[in-house]
């Protein structure tokens, strides 16, 4: 690939900055030490002002409007709410949902025998959630999709199921935002 | 199809104005059909072009100048009629009908197979209310009720249009379905002990405008909007019903009939509709096999090219030792005309045998659609020359000759069809006495398992070509499925085998359906002028494709529209 090469003479640059470089260091040090002492004080009196959390041991609580990975709602009986209607599969702009429907003896008649989402391809757009007539797929607050293989980013139905009460906030939010 | 869309002349032309557009129609034709033929959409449920008029749904009401709105499906057109399908009172009537239909309709769309091709859904977008105004709970009814062995019934979804009742009364003439009860208690049902079980029963699922009657085979199988549809022809008998193959990920999901007034109107039989598993199940023959001394090592599976070489060597050896008539070729009626043409050429020119015939399993015919010949292209095969040559033997003759030791090598295309078509004893005797059995088939079976050489063939859904039905209508089959990588269609096997027998390089002997049809149109009488384009979606009767007798339809430049 042809590209433009810019030669940088770092030594000359440092020389030209001269005494000012020392000043910049001092400015930086002042900012960090101010935070250090303020946080130290806050920690001593039990009112930390710091925004950093100890991820992954700790996690921030995301607002309900946050769109993380789409997950499937698991009802209290341990089954999915999804009836394999295929609307999310159709709505998904990147075609990362794959469903194989089948018949069940339950009154609901249909269920997804297979429900896969390729999280490596999902772009968290939330269109699947908007399309779903059953409130069966919602955007969660989960964001960790790292895996050691490509297969690892393919989430199957069992990986996707999340108990309904853990999704209560989002479900409430969805109901409000799609209400007309 | 009505006159308007074929551009024919009318006997008693009248002019009606629909939404300001002047339309010429045949006097007495129903307004709804005239509108539909001219691309004007009038919502309707109970009207079906192939059934009697019921007038029960009231969805098709339009303004005709009469004091009240009139139902378009039962209003004959008269000269000077002015029709308004878009006025506010028409829309109001439609909204009213929709509201009444939806009072008891379940919110089943997510689990309903009809969703995506449902009239009720479609019209709800235009004329439905978002919220119900009734407080009482929706009426409960039978769900997933097996109303017949091949049809599932959901009573809650039924809108009582009576299309299904009229179908069993007028088309299948079996009268299983009827409306029971009256008023608010009306429902579709069958008499005790008489389920919906006739040779055409699944058509009721096609014509049911909602998801009340559904095909059990397709039930909860695949969303219709994921299906890729290919126009084709049913392969299960010589009627050649026009069908659409609904494909998903290279698998046939369902067959549904396609309207062709000269063949199947808009119906098809249940057997044909459900006979497609062979195209994709585990019985498909995918590997070429060579058994006996020629097999390399333990596995008899070889490449198709090697199997073809072996086949040509065996045929050559038989001709050299016993003469060409020691070879018998039993052709299949399931192959396209183009393939049959090459088979005839193979037998006549490359092998030189006159023992050539087409295997035709037969069964019951019913005088409506189902024909006695249980393959799609037996007529085409004979016309392409797949028939005994001078003093050649037919199927039975060949088997007898093989049993007597006169025929040393049998080349059977379609061994399973053969087992169906002839007496088991005669077949056994023949097979016991031939030296070499070459089987070319789409599916494995008892004879393929015993054959010296097996050549895997392709099913109709994997091919482009033409079939000639029992009436002599040449119809197009289109490829809907991708065949196994590296496999050849039956025509390709014939051309390559022919090249090998002629000492030529088989790689140069590619099969080209289009070019073959061009050749057929020059050489076979009746096929003059046939080409894929000329056949279109509805096919052409033999002898009618030649430019001289060509199309009345060019007059107005309109080819027959593809009806819904
Ligand atoms: S969030 Fe968007 S990209 Fe991801 S599965 Fe849903 S529709 Fe597809
Ligand atoms: S839209 Fe909802 S109910 Fe339909 S398949 Fe997707 S998750 Fe299941
Ligand atoms: S019949 Fe039509 S409207 Fe009724 S549930 Fe099925 S798809 Fe929906
Ligand atoms: S079952 Fe279907 S076709 Fe029969 S009356 Fe009901 S809606 Fe009409
Ligand atoms: S279509 Fe006219 S009344 Fe049903």
Please work out whether the CB of residue B101 comes within 6 Å of at least one atom of ligand 3: no
- Which residue's CA is minimally distant from atom 6 of ligand 1? A128
Residue B169 and residue B242 in one domain: yes
Residue of B nearest to A108 (CA): B111
Is A25 among the domain residues? Answer: yes
Residue A150 and residue A110 in one domain: yes
Average pLDDT over residues A8-28: 77
Residue B271 and residue B292 in one domain: no
- Which residue's CA is minimally distant from atom 8 of ligand 3? B109
Residue A44 and residue A75 in one domain: no
Nearest to A103 among B110, B143, B219 (CB): B219
Is A60 among the domain residues? Answer: no
Question: What is residue B25's predicted lDDT score, i.e. its pLDDT?
Answer: 95
Distance of CA B222 from the midpoint of ligand 1 (Å):
20
Cα–Cα distance, B310 to B307 (Å, whole number): 5
Nearest to A109 among B115, B144, B225 (CB): B144
Cα–Cα distance, B550 to B543 (Å, whole number): 10
Confidence of residue A96 (pLDDT cuts 50, 70, 90): very high
Residue B189 and residue B304 in one domain: no
Is A47 among the domain residues? Answer: yes
Q: Give me the tens of pLDDT residue by residue for chain B, a chain 564 residues long.
A: 344 444 557 899 999 999 999 999 999 999 999 999 999 999 999 999 999 999 999 999 999 988 899 999 999 999 999 999 999 999 999 999 999 999 999 999 999 999 999 999 999 999 999 888 988 888 899 999 999 999 999 999 999 999 999 999 999 999 999 999 998 899 999 999 999 999 999 999 999 999 999 999 999 999 999 999 999 999 999 999 999 999 999 999 999 999 999 999 999 999 999 999 999 999 999 999 998 764 455 678 899 999 999 999 999 999 999 999 999 999 999 999 999 999 999 999 999 999 999 999 999 999 999 999 999 999 999 999 999 988 899 999 999 999 999 999 999 999 999 999 999 999 999 999 999 999 999 999 999 999 999 999 999 999 999 999 999 999 999 999 999 988 999 999 999 999 999 999 988 889 999 999 999 999 999 999 999 999 999 999 998 887 654 444 443 333 444 443
Residue B54 and residue B149 in one domain: no
Is A3 among the domain residues? Answer: yes
- Which residue's CA is minimally distant from atom 3 of ligand 4? B208
Atom of ligand 1 nearest to the CA of A94: 3
Domain region containing A3:
1-52
Residue of B nearest to A132 (CA): B110
For residue B453, give the nearest of B305, B298, B281 by alpha carbon.
B305
**Which residues of chain B have a CB within 8 Å of the CB of A110?**
110-111, 220
What one-character-per-residue DSSP string does A76-108 give?
TTSSBS-----HHHHH-TT--EEEEEEE-SSTT
Residue of A nearest to B131 (CA): A180
Cα–Cα distance, B514 to B336 (Å, whole number): 12
Torsion of CA B534, B535, B536, B540, to 10 degrees: 120
Residue-wise pLDDT for A47-61, tens only, equals: 877 777 888 888 888
Q: Which-ligand-closest: CA of A117?
A: 1
Is B96 among the domain residues? Answer: no
* End-to-end CA gap in chain A: 53
Which carries the bigger pLDDT value, residue A157 or residue A16?
A157
Is B114 among the domain residues? Answer: no
**Which residues of chain A have a CB within 8 Å of the CB of B143?**
107, 109
Q: What is the CATH number of the domain that holds A82?
A: 3.30.70.3270
Cα–Cα distance, B146 to B155 (Å, whole number): 11
| Contact state of A103 with B220 under an 8 Å Cβ cutoff | yes
Residue A48 and residue A97 in one domain: no
Q: What is the CATH number of the domain that holds B196?
A: 3.30.70.20
Domain region containing B73:
13-86
Question: What is residue B296's predicted lDDT score, i.e. its pLDDT?
Answer: 52
What one-character-per-residue DSSP string does A13-71 give?
HHHHHTTHHHHHHHHHHHHHHHHHHHHHHHHHHT--------TTTS-PPPPTT----EE
Residue B252 and residue B312 in one domain: no
B99: three-class secondary structure by DSSP = helix
Residue A116 and residue A151 in one domain: yes
**Which residues of chain A have a CB within 8 Å of the CB of B118?**
none
Residues contacting residue B99 through CB under 8 Å, at least 6 positions apart: B128, B129, B133
Domains: count for chain A: 2
Residue A90 and residue A162 in one domain: yes
B476: three-class secondary structure by DSSP = strand
Place of tokens 């008499």: B191
DSSP bridge pairs for B252? B247
Residue B201 and residue B270 in one domain: yes
Question: What is residue B297's predicted lDDT score, i.e. its pLDDT?
Answer: 56
Is A63 among the domain residues? Answer: no
Residue B316 and residue B451 in one domain: yes
Residue A172 and residue A86 in one domain: yes
Tokens of B125: 């977008």
| Contact state of B111 with A133 under an 8 Å Cβ cutoff | no
Q: What is the CATH number of the domain that holds B55?
A: 3.10.20.740
Is B117 among the domain residues? Answer: no
Distance of CA B265 from the midpoint of ligand 4 (Å):
20
Which of B245, B279, B313 finishes a domain?
Answer: B279
- Which residue's CA is minimally distant from atom 8 of ligand 2? A82
Per residue, what are the HEC states of B21-37?
EEEEEECCCEHHHHHHH
Question: What is residue B558's predicted lDDT score, i.e. its pLDDT?
Answer: 39
For residue B539, give the nearest of B374, B271, B337 by alpha carbon.
B337
Residue A8 and residue A90 in one domain: no
Nearest to A101 among B109, B130, B220 (CB): B220
Is B102 among the domain residues? Answer: no
Residues contacting residue B273 through CB under 8 Å, at least 6 positions apart: B202, B215, B217, B234, B243, B254, B255, B256, B257
ipTM score of the complex?
0.80
Is B351 among the domain residues? Answer: yes
- Evaluate the CA torsion angle B536, B540, B543, B549 in order and state its sign: negative
Residue A41 and residue A114 in one domain: no
Q: What is the CATH number of the domain that holds B416?
A: 3.40.50.740
Atom of ligand 3 nearest to the CA of B124: 3
Residue A46 and residue A76 in one domain: no
- Which residue's CA is minimally distant from atom 4 of ligand 4? B164
- Which residue's CA is minimally distant from atom 2 of ligand 2? A132
Residue A41 and residue A74 in one domain: no
> What is the average pLDDT score of chain B?
92
Tokens of A102: 């089948």
Residue-wise pLDDT for B71-89, tens only, equals: 999 999 999 999 999 999 9
Distance of CA B213 from the midpoint of ligand 4 (Å):
7
Is A64 among the domain residues? Answer: no
Residue A150 and residue A74 in one domain: yes
Question: What is residue B8's predicted lDDT score, i.e. its pLDDT?
Answer: 59
Q: List the strands of the sheet with B436-441, edge to edge.
A: B301-302, B288-290, B453-456, B436-441, B409-413, B327-332, B356-359
Residue A137 and residue A169 in one domain: yes
Percent of chain A with pLDDT strictly greater than 70: 96
Please work out whether the CB of residue B121 comes within 6 Å of at least one atom of ligand 3: yes
Residues contacting residue B518 through CB under 8 Å, at least 6 positions apart: B531
Residue of B nearest to A136 (CA): B110
Residue A110 sits at the vertex; the CA angle it makes with A107 and A112, to the nearest 5 degrees, is 135
For residue B404, give the nearest of B319, B491, B325, B293 by alpha carbon.
B325
Domains: count for chain B: 3
**Which residues of chain B have a CB within 8 Å of the CB of A103?**
219-220
| Cβ < 6 A, ligand 2 pocket | A 82-88, 99, 131-132, 134, 136-137; B 110
The secondary structure element, H or E, covering residue B223 is none
B264: three-class secondary structure by DSSP = coil
Q: How far is CA B437 from the centre of its chain?
A: 32
CA B222 to chain A, closest CA, distance in angstroms equals 7
Tokens of A14: 């440092």
Enumerate chain B positions whose Cβ falls within 8 A of a Cβ in A: 109-111, 115, 130, 143-144, 219-223, 225-226
Contact indicator for B517, B477 with CB cutoff of 8 Å: no
Torsion of CA B102, B103, B106, B108, to 10 degrees: 30
Residue-wise pLDDT for B9-58, tens only, equals: 789 999 999 999 999 999 999 999 999 999 999 999 999 999 999 999 99
Name the residue of A87, A89, A94, A138 whose CB sits within 8 Å of the most ligand 1 atoms, as the mutation to test its pocket.
A94
Residue B48 and residue B141 in one domain: no
Is B552 among the domain residues? Answer: no
| Cβ atoms < 10 Å from Cβ of B48 | 18
């Amino acid at each position: 690939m042809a590209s433009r090469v810019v030669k940088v003479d770092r030594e000359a640059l440092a020389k030209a900055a001269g005494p000012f470089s020392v000043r910049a260091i001092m400015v930086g040090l002042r900012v960090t030490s101010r935070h250090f002492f303020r946080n130290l004080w806050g920690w001593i009196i039990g009112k930390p002002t710091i925004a950093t959390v100890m991820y992954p041991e700790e996690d921030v609580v995301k607002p309900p409007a946050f769109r993380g990975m789409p997950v499937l709602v698991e009802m209290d009986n341990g089954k999915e709410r999804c009836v394999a209607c295929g609307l999310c599969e159709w709505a998904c702009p990147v075609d990362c949902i794959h469903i194989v429907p089948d018949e069940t003896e339950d009154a609901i008649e249909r269920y997804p025998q297979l429900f896969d989402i390729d999280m490596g391809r999902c772009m968290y757009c939330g269109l699947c959630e908007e399309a779903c007539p059953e409130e069966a797929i919602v955007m969660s607050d989960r964001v960790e999709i790292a895996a050691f293989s490509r297969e690892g980013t393919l989430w199957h139905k069992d990986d996707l199921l999340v108990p309904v009460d853990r999704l209560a906030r989002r479900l409430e939010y969805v109901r409000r935002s799609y209400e007309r | 199809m009505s006159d308007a869309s074929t551009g024919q002349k009318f006997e008693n032309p009248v002019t009606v104005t629909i939404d300001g557009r002047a339309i010429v129609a045949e006097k007495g034709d129903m307004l709804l059909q005239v509108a539909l033929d001219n691309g004007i959409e009038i919502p309707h449920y109970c009207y079906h072009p192939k059934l009697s008029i019921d007038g029960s749904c009231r969805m098709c009401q339009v303004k005709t100048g009469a004091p009240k709105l009139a139902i378009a499906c039962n209003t004959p057109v008269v000269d000077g009629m002015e029709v308004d399908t878009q006025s506010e009172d028409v829309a109001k009537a439609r909204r009213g009908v929709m509201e009444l239909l939806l009072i008891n309709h379940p919110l089943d769309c997510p689990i309903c197979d009809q969703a995506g091709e449902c009239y009720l859904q479609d019209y709800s977008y235009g004329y439905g209310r978002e919220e119900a105004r009734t407080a009482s709970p929706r009426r409960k009814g039978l769900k997933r009720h097996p109303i017949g062995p091949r049809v599932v019934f959901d009573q809650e979804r039924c809108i009582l249009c009576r299309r299904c009742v009229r179908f069993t009364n007028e088309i299948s003439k079996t009268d299983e379905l009827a409306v029971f009860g009256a008023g608010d208690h009306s429902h579709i049902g069958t008499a005790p002990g008489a389920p919906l079980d006739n040779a055409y029963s699944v058509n009721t699922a096609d014509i049911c405008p909602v998801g009340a009657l559904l095909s059990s085979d397709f039930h909860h199988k695949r969303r219709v909007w994921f299906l890729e549809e290919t126009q084709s022809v049913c392969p299960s008998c010589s009627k050649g019903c026009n069908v659409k193959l609904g494909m998903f990920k290279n698998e046939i999901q369902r067959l549904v009939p396609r309207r062709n007034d000269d063949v199947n109107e808009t119906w098809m039989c249940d057997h044909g509709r459900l006979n497609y598993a062979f195209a994709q199940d585990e019985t498909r023959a995918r590997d070429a096999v060579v058994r006996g001394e020629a097999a390399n090592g333990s596995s008899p599976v070889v490449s198709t090219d090697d199997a073809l070489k072996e086949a040509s060597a065996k045929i050559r050896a038989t001709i050299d030792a016993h003469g060409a008539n020691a070879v018998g070729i039993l052709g299949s009626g399931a192959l396209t005309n183009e393939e049959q043409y090459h088979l005839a050429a193979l037998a006549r020119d490359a092998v030189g045998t006159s023992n050539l015939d087409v295997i035709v399993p037969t069964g019951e015919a019913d005088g409506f659609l189902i024909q006695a010949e249980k393959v799609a292209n037996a007529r085409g095969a004979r016309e392409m020359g797949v028939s005994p040559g001078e003093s050649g033997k037919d199927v039975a003759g060949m088997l007898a000759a093989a049993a007597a030791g006169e025929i040393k090598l049998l080349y059977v295309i379609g061994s399973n069809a053969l087992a169906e078509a002839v007496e088991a004893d005669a077949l056994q005797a023949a097979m016991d006495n031939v030296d070499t059995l070459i089987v070319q088939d789409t599916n494995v079976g008892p004879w393929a398992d015993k054959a010296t050489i097996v050549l895997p063939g392709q099913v109709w859904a994997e091919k482009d070509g033409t079939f000639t039905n029992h009436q002599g209508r040449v119809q197009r089959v289109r490829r809907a499925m991708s065949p196994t990588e590296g496999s050849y269609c039956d025509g390709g096997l014939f051309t390559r085998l022919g090249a090998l027998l002629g000492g030529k390089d088989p790689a140069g002997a590619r099969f080209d359906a289009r070019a073959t049809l061009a050749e057929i149109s020059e050489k076979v009488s009746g096929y003059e002028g046939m080409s894929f384009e000329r056949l279109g979606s509805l096919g052409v009767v033999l002898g009618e494709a030649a430019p001289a007798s060509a199309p009345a339809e060019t007059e107005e430049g309109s080819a027959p529209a593809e009806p819904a």
